[in-house]
Amino acid sequence: MSLIIDCIYLLAAAALSPMVAYRMVRYKRYRAGWAQRFGKITRRYPEKKCVWLHAVSVGEVNASRTIIEELKKQLPDFEIVISTTTDTGFSRANELFGKNHTVFYFPLDFSLVMQRAFRSICPAICLLVELEVWPNFVQIAHQSNIPIVVINGRISDRSFSKYKKIKLIVKNIFKKVDLVLAQTDQYAGRFKEIGCSADKVIVTGSLKYDTAQVTDKVEGANILAEQLFGKIDNPDSFGTIDNPLWVAGGTGPDEEKIILDVYRVLKNQFENLRLAIVPRKPERFDEVAQLIEQSGFDIIRYSQIKNHSTKKSNTERRLSAVASAKAEATGDESRIILGDTMGDLRKFYSVADLIFVGRSLVPMGGSDMMEAAALGKCTIFGPYAFNFQQAVDDLLANQGAIMVRDEQDLLRTVQKCLFEPAFAQTIARNGRETIRKNQGATAKSVDAIMKLLNSR
């Protein structure tokens, strides 16, 4: 079976290699970590037992924060290693965990490569965030009597449809999974339908509710606000910023144009309204900058402000901020802010008066709206947020967010929020309370993992 899978992988690699090569050259992606991708992995503490947690990209990495923290407490004698697939996921995992944990690129699922990786890592248990169940990975772990746990388990509509078409194949893979900790009853049913034993599937809720920090303060947000706005009347409350700020975060292709068109209309009614756009993927920063300029707007690239500011002393930075404030007084507030740095989205959300969560006006599955709601912000998203269906259902049911259908609906909604601040504040309060009520998946998940480990 492994030989057949390897042959399929080779054919797929041959077909995809031109695209990979193009992205390596054009976007500088896939250039790092090739030794690790081929199974050469070095642990920091090879004498310890090991938990191997795999999180594909940024969203899964972020979702794993609380469970890694809790596992460290519950398993002090274990080493926890974290693998990820994408460059952005690796960067985020390094930022969050690199100081205390081994972070590496997930090995290619060729049988020989994966065998080499398992020999190097020697995991006592493997945790896969959301769905990442690879055939050779699962087979080797199963043969080695290493338990596999899917945490924060989710199967989207699209994935479920594909799996059902090859049910006989995937059933053989998923029946080897030892435990599935699903986000919802619906997802639990889907895991059972594609081959997981019913007694091995538990509904624990979504880890992303736990990682969405219910707070009024985000570290570094006051510095970002000072860099953008020049002065802050009250560093502990960003509601006092003179010009209201609308942040469109995690946006995708074709979405920024819709937002710019809406903003153009809004500026005729709300002269002091500011807009910040933070694209989801860094390779699109230049593309979005060009779009903003082609749309006739001036632009502020946050990377230039941030890089310039970090080289200054505190005194110099404050003098620069005062100059920025004076520039705004002469009409500079019409410039659109492009958030073209990594790791600053929550800071943008923290200083926002209104948030649109992207990749949802176009059929891309949405971005994480729980983070925005947890910060007590009026949160808006489009109709294509199917990757976060549980959060969508919970927030809408409790009037804790607003779903818009299209460009005109987005315009009307933002107008209402700006004309009626009390309405926006009510949505924000309901959203934060919804996040708070749904937290607790971390404790349930760790409890199930510990029971499985202790039974071995």
Query: With 50 as the cut, is the pLDDT of residue 238 above it?
Result: no
Query: With 60 as the cut, is the pLDDT of residue 173 above it?
Result: yes
pLDDT value, residue 242: 56
pLDDT value, residue 53: 98
pLDDT value, residue 339: 97
The phi and psi torsions of 378 (rounded to 5 degrees) equal -70, 115
- Cβ neighbours of 293 (radius 10 Å): 12
Each residue of 249-261: pLDDT tens digit?
A: 999 999 999 999 9
The Cβ-side half-sphere exposure at 135, using a 13 Å CA radius, reads 16
129 bridge partner residues: 151
Each residue of 144-163: pLDDT tens digit?
A: 999 999 999 999 888 999 99
Each residue of 26-61: pLDDT tens digit?
A: 877 778 889 999 999 999 999 999 999 999 999 899
More confident residue, 194 or 231: 194
pLDDT value, residue 94: 95
Q: Of 113, 128, 122, give the one whose Cα is nearest residue 145.
A: 122
Query: With 70 as the cut, is the pLDDT of residue 317 above it?
Result: no
pLDDT value, residue 333: 60
Query: With 60 as the cut, is the pLDDT of residue 222 above it?
Result: yes
Helix (H) or strand (E) holding 354: strand 354-357
Query: With 60 as the cut, is the pLDDT of residue 237 above it?
Result: no
* H helix and E strand count, the chain: 22, 14
Q: Average pLDDT in the 255-271 region?
A: 96
Point out the least confidently predicted range of 68-72, 184-188, 317-321, 418-422. 317-321
Helices of type H across 155-232:
157-165, 167-174, 185-193, 207-211, 221-229
Point out the least confidently predicted range of 81-95, 222-236, 322-336. 322-336
Angle 261-267-271 from CA coordinates, rounded to 5°: 165
pLDDT value, residue 411: 98
Query: With 50 as the cut, is the pLDDT of residue 241 above it?
Result: no
Confidence of residue 267 (pLDDT cuts 50, 70, 90): very high
Q: Average pLDDT in the 403-422 region?
A: 97
Tell me the torsion sign for CA atoms 127, 9, 282, 156: negative
Query: With 90 as the cut, is the pLDDT of residue 344 above it?
Result: yes
Each residue of 103-157: pLDDT tens digit?
A: 999 999 999 999 999 999 999 999 999 988 999 999 999 999 999 999 999 998 8
Residues 6+ away with beta carbon under 8 Å from 456: 145, 147
More confident residue, 60 or 22: 60
More confident residue, 424 or 321: 424
